[in-house]
Amino acid sequence: MEAPAPMNITLSNGAVIPVEMHKVRIVQRTSLPPVRRRLEAIGAAGYNTFLLRTKDIFLDMLTDSGTNAMSDNQLAAMMVSDDAYAGSESFYKLADAVKEVLGFDYAIPVHQGRAAEHLLAKVFVKPGDVVLMNYHFTTTKAHMELAGASVLELYGDATLQTASTVPFKGNIDVAKLRACIDKYGASKIPFVRMEATTNLVGGQPFSIKNLKEVRALAAQHGIPLVFDGSLISENAYFVKRREPEYANASITDIIREMMSQVDLFYLSGRKSTSVRGGLMATNSKEYYDRILAWLPVYEGFATYGGMSTKEVEAMAVGLREMTDENVAGASPDLIQYLVNRLEKSGVPVVTPPGGLAGHVDAKRFLPHIPQKEYPAGALAAAIYVASGVRSMERGTISCDRDQNGNETYADLELARLAVPRRVYTMSQMEYVVDRVAWLHGHRDLVKGLRFVEEPKVLRFFFGKLEALGGWDRDLAAAFEKDFGTGC
Ligand code: F0G
């Protein structure tokens, strides 16, 4: 049973709704193209939602990366940034915020999260190593593998069950961790990585209890703990709501408790801190020096690390703001609303609701499409045709082929409806629910996809596919029958 959250308000009819604890002061226009235009656009994009243009998109739910709403204080801070190449005062404000919020002495700005992963791989990983994680992220895995290592995921039994009530599906199975350390030996394990929250399996958090157990075991063997905090404030929010021991703790306290377990921290600042940048942080002078040596080669000088100093300023503010429960919980609460409404409409979704997005389970939504025909990719394309809403494939297309050219089938086939923080409203979520539920009613019309242009690495970004049998036209025709030629 989850603890109640402050912005989930009970109405007099008993319904609980997430009420926004902010005012919208700047807006951006969007428009809903008619279904015929959507059909043309998805065809031109090779049925890959990454290749759609914003002008053809109504609600952009591809990602929360770099698309969260910034606060008035963040925008104000950007105006006073210090553009000095070296010694920028903006950096020192960031370093102060890192010390205050995360408790680390050394802060290293980088241009975004994957830059941190690149440096991690460069500095800590050697060929033949085994990197252990709760779950991989696409760019993390690519960097570890490019450095010659393999990635092993040590999740528990519940993690891949999409319909579940297990509150912390992002936990590492400690028995598996012990077995791996015994099998490979500490010298082959450069670090254990905990991702908050596990992006590819539905934004699922881990508990502090689990983090502490993992850290204790790793530390016994001299293995450092690396924390990917891209959604650190959301993970902290779930700890507060789902881990009874922390029900009365503040987000600040929970973050500090998590950080007390961490040897090396990094994040994509594009998420929890609502800016375009990235960060690494540690209390180890040795780690800091080793990373710093490569920073000017790949990122930039130590006081900007490839980021605009405007974003450095805004990250300092964003770090402090994410400790506000209303900020940390803004996306999780709207996601919970979206997921609950989808579930009530009969749409198969990942439960419990996680951070980052509402996830639709394509294996259950489109059971007639085999994995080799990419059900999650087909679902993302179909959602766009049915609604003008852009979601993201998180399934087999997001896994590259192995070295022999064979498909690596994803554990889960998900269409991810990301909920960028403080950007969309409840009426927009109701629209999403309605159109996805309509699509579910017409799911038999949706068929698979086949690659026509397939890049070797991270193929989901630029790959182009075709719709088998031209099913998208049948879907658009069914839509027009029900809704006319409009939207
Ligand atoms: N780690 C996690 C957990 C992420 O979710 C991401 C990015 C990265 C690292 C890489 O950071 O994009 O700043 O280079 N996730 C984005 C997404 C791309 O859409 O979920 P980045």
Q: Are 273 and 318 in contact (CB under 8 A)?
A: yes
Residue nearest to atom 19 of ligand 1 (CA): 63
Query: Which 3 state secondary structure label does DSSP give 452?
Result: strand
Distance CA 237, CA 227 (A): 16
- Average pLDDT (120-126) is 98
Q: What is residue 487's predicted lDDT score, i.e. its pLDDT?
A: 79
**Catalytic residue status for 228:** yes
Element (H, E) at 208: helix 208-220
CA of 262 to the centre of ligand 1 (A): 19
Residue type, 64: D
Q: What is the pTM of this model?
A: 0.96
What's the 9 CA to ligand 1 centre distance in angstroms? Answer: 31
- Please say if 138 is a catalytic residue: yes
Q: What is the pLDDT of residues 303-345, one digit of tens each?
A: 999 999 999 999 999 999 999 999 999 999 999 999 999 999 9
pLDDT > 80? residue 357: yes
Q: Are strands 8-10 and 16-18 parallel, antiparallel or unpaired?
A: antiparallel
Which residue lies with its CA nearest to atom 15 of ligand 1?
Answer: 65
How far apart (Å, rounded) are the C-alpha atoms in residues 333 and 326?
10
How high is the mean pLDDT of the chain?
97
Q: Is 479 a catalytic residue?
A: no
Q: Give the model's pLDDT for residue 39.
A: 98
The DSSP result for 54-79, as a single string, is GGG-SEE-S-STTTSPPPHHHHHHHT
Asked whether residue 98 carries a pLDDT value surpassing 70, the answer given is: yes
Q: Is the pLDDT of residue 1 over 70?
A: no
pLDDT (0 to 100) of residue 486? 76
Give the separation between CA 173 and CA 228, rounded to whole angstroms: 18
Residue 253 annotated to the active site = no
Say how far apart CA 377 and CA 383 lie, in whole Å: 10
Given the residues 138, 298, 434, 474, select the one marked as catalytic.
138
pLDDT of 211 > 80? The answer is yes
User: Given the CA of residue 270, which atom of ligand 1 is nearest to it?
Assistant: 13
What does the pLDDT look like over 126-160, one tens digit per residue? 999 999 999 999 999 999 999 999 999 999 999 99
* Residue 461 burial (CB count, 10 A): 12
- pLDDT, one tens digit per residue, over 276-310 is 999 999 999 999 999 999 999 999 999 999 999 99
Mean pLDDT of 182-208: 97
Phi-psi domain of 355 (left: phi exceeds 0; alpha: psi -120 through 50; beta: other): beta
| pLDDT surpassing 90 at residue 273 | yes
- Residues having CB closer than 6 A to ligand 1 are 63, 65, 112-114, 137, 139-140, 195, 199, 228, 230, 268, 270, 278
pLDDT tens sequence across 66-97: 999 999 999 999 999 999 999 999 999 999 99
Pick from 425, 415, 339: nearest CA to 384: 415
CA of 374 to the centre of ligand 1 (A): 22
Lookup: tokens for 65: 């990366």
Mean pLDDT of 246-259: 98
Tokens of 208: 């502090």
Q: At what angle do helices 208-220 and 251-259 cross, to 10 degrees?
A: 20
If you measure from the C-alpha of residue 328 to the centroid of ligand 1, how many angstroms do you get, rounded to a whole number? 17
**pLDDT at residue 71 in the model:** 98
- The alpha carbon dihedral of 316, 317, 318, 321 has a sign of positive
Is 337 one of the catalytic residues?
no
Task: Report the residue among 140, 194, 270 best suited for mutation to probe ligand 1: largest number of ligand atoms under 8 A from its CB.
Answer: 270
Instruction: State yes or no: is 139 an active-site residue.
Output: no
On the question of pLDDT at 448 being above 80, the answer is yes
What pLDDT was estimated at residue 3? 61
What does residue 182 show for φ and ψ, rounded to 5 degrees? -65, -45
Q: Whose CA is nearest to atom 16 of ligand 1?
A: 65
Look at strands 150-153 and 414-418 and give their pairing.
unpaired
Assign 2 a pLDDT band (cuts: 50, 70, 90): low
Mean pLDDT, rounded, for 434-442: 98
